[in-house]
Structure 1
Amino acid sequence: MDGNRRYAKLRGHKAVWGHWKGATTWLNLIDWWSYFNSSEKQEVKYMTLWALSKENLQRNPEELAGLFAVLTVTFRSIAFTASIHRSQIRVRFIGALTGLPQHVLGAINLLERETENYSRAVMLVAVGYGGRDEVLRAVQDVLDSGEDLNEESVSRKTFCSKLSIPPVDLIIRTSESRTSGFMLWDTQSTELHFLHDKLWPELTARDCIHAIESFASRERRGGK
């Protein structure tokens, strides 16, 4: 979900204004997803949104305070968003959550608790997430368990595997042409869809549908 700061700068506002606009897009996306799943024969059961990277935590204190406020309000809003409950979407969080402000952690706990009994669809929210950090954590978990270190054992320790979620099928990235290390281990056969001319707050339902249609038209051989 990239481009909030640039969106704000182009309109003469501070970065946090762009993050608020990005949060609105996020809430809209949940509604689009809910509508898509209710109207199409084939559902999109899993969605992951990268809300805050580990590198983002190095930003200046003023912007971070604004970001944390946006996340807190957004998480609380999602907890009581009608489409989340109507579509029975469970929300789970991944990433390095320790060290986040208490008000952010409280909102995370609220959102997970309000949706913990749902299973029709799953929305992962990556906060304090880094691709290399995830791989290092997985390797350390293997070593701590005393298992042999190999591809199979590491695969069992990734966030996706721990939450019983399949590897990533499709990555959609706004305004950039790179993945920035997103889910390094579980994206070996992932398809990519870049929206070079769109900043995250400019994303539309049509953009999402086009990405899904593009994905559906591709021949996936998994390297075979």
Structure 2
Amino acid sequence: MAVKPAPQLASAAVPRHVAIIMDGNGRWAKKRFLPRIAGHKQGVEAVRRISRAARKLGIEALTLYAFSSENWRRPEEEVRDLMGLLRQFLASELEELISEGVKLRVIGDWRRLQPDLVAMIDSAIARTADNPGPTLVIALNYGAQAEILAAARRLAEEVKAGTLDPSAIDEQRFEAGLETADLPPLDLMIRTSGEQRLSNFLLWQAAYAELLFVDTLWPDFDEAALAAAIEQFGKRQRRFGGL
């Protein structure tokens, strides 16, 4: 299938790291009197579109909130469908990621997923580990509060062992213990579907990120919508607490 070129940007300010809370699959399906799985399938198509568009636009890292640690509360059938779609995505997209030089990263407590899925993820990460291009980060079984707590516990253990002076703990030392430590700082976080909350996603990393909430449901989010979001980013003045 031919990939349409991403729209050209008027602004030269392209964020290095963009994160997206992909919301609205269920509502997309409901509006069309379809089962929720139909919305999730279209959501996967949106992932393909946006990951390709992000590469064309020069974004270095794209982090997608695919499955939160709270999503286990959803019906068992829906969770099973989501995991099945993840398997299909890895199977169908891996060769393209490799050919495009994309490095795949997965954050969250994803090793608690089913063994066959963990093996697929391990293989995909290993096969793309040396790729020189942009990074696609998938957040699976992820919760920002758990990530922050884990980093704090590791530092506490070092202090208890006598290998770390508490006075040496600063922002940089703490960030080094987060799962996004070697990624560019988060510049822009987008949430689709009109909801305006972070839902336990990249809470530390979003401290000075630009936030953008759009009404578009995730399955309808396309290259033009991403380009428009980046245009808005380019018009904002980022002061980072200064004047």
TM-score when normalising by structure 1: 0.89
CA distance, structure 1, for counterparts of residue 111 and residue 118 of structure 2 = 9
CA contact (8 A) 1:78 1:111 kept: no
Q: Give the gaps of 5 or more residues in structure 2.
A: 1-21
CA distance, structure 2, for counterparts of residue 87 and residue 79 of structure 1 = 10
Aligned to 2:73: 58
The Cα of 1:86 is off from its aligned counterpart by 4.2
Of the three residues 194, 201, 214, the one matched with 1:195 is 214
Instruction: Write out per-residue CA displacement over residues 139-190 of structure 1, whole angstroms, 9 at most, x where no aligned residue.
Output: 11111222328443322211111xx113210001101212112111111111
Aligned to 1:45: 60
For the residue of structure 2 that corresponds to 1:181, the secondary structure is coil
The Cα of 1:51 is off from its aligned counterpart by 0.6
Deviates more, 1:115-124 or 1:88-97: 115-124
* Code of the aligned partner of 1:71: L
Aligned to 2:3: none
Aligned to 2:100: 87
TM-score when normalising by structure 2: 0.83
Instruction: Write out per-residue CA displacement over residues 76-98 of structure 1, whole angstroms, 9 at most, x where no aligned residue.
Output: 222122xx234311011000113
Q: Give the gaps of 5 or more residues in structure 1.
A: 37-42
CA contact (8 A) 1:79 1:110 kept: no
* Code of the aligned partner of 1:65: R
Instruction: Write out per-residue CA displacement over residues 56-110 of structure 1, whole angstroms, 9 at most, x where no aligned residue.
Output: 02211111111110111112222122xx234311011000113211232122123
CA distance, structure 1, for counterparts of residue 36 and residue 119 of structure 2 = 24
RMSD: 1.5
The Cα of 1:35 is off from its aligned counterpart by 2.6
Instruction: Write out per-residue CA displacement over residues 35-66 of structure 1, whole angstroms, 9 at most, x where no aligned residue.
Output: 32xxxxxx211110111000002211111111
Instruction: Write out per-residue CA displacement over residues 8-49 of structure 1, whole angstroms, 9 at most, x where no aligned residue.
Output: 12212221221111001111112212332xxxxxx2111101
CA distance, structure 2, for counterparts of residue 107 and residue 19 of structure 1 = 20
Query: Structure 1 vs Structure 2: percent identity of aligned residues?
Result: 30
Of the three residues 216, 220, 223, the one matched with 2:234 is 216
* Code of the aligned partner of 1:12: F
CA contact (8 A) 1:32 1:205 kept: yes
CA distance, structure 1, for counterparts of residue 152 and residue 141 of structure 2 = 18
Aligned to 1:170: 188
The runs of 4+ residues in structure 1 deviating greater than 4 Å are none
Aligned to 2:177: 157
Instruction: Write out per-residue CA displacement over residues 102-148 of structure 1, whole angstroms, 9 at most, x where no aligned residue.
Output: 23212212321221111221111100011111111111111122232
Count of residue pairs the alignment pairs up: 213
CA distance, structure 2, for counterparts of residue 143 and residue 126 of structure 1 = 25
Aligned to 2:41: 20
Of the three residues 73, 91, 111, the one matched with 1:98 is 111
Deviates more, 1:205-214 or 1:8-17: 8-17
* Code of the aligned partner of 2:64: L
Q: Does 1:67 align with 2:67?
A: no
Of the three residues 117, 125, 131, the one matched with 2:130 is 117
Aligned to 2:4: none
Aligned to 1:33: 54
Aligned to 1:5: 26
Q: Does 1:205 align with 2:223?
A: yes
For the residue of structure 1 that corresponds to 2:105, the secondary structure is strand
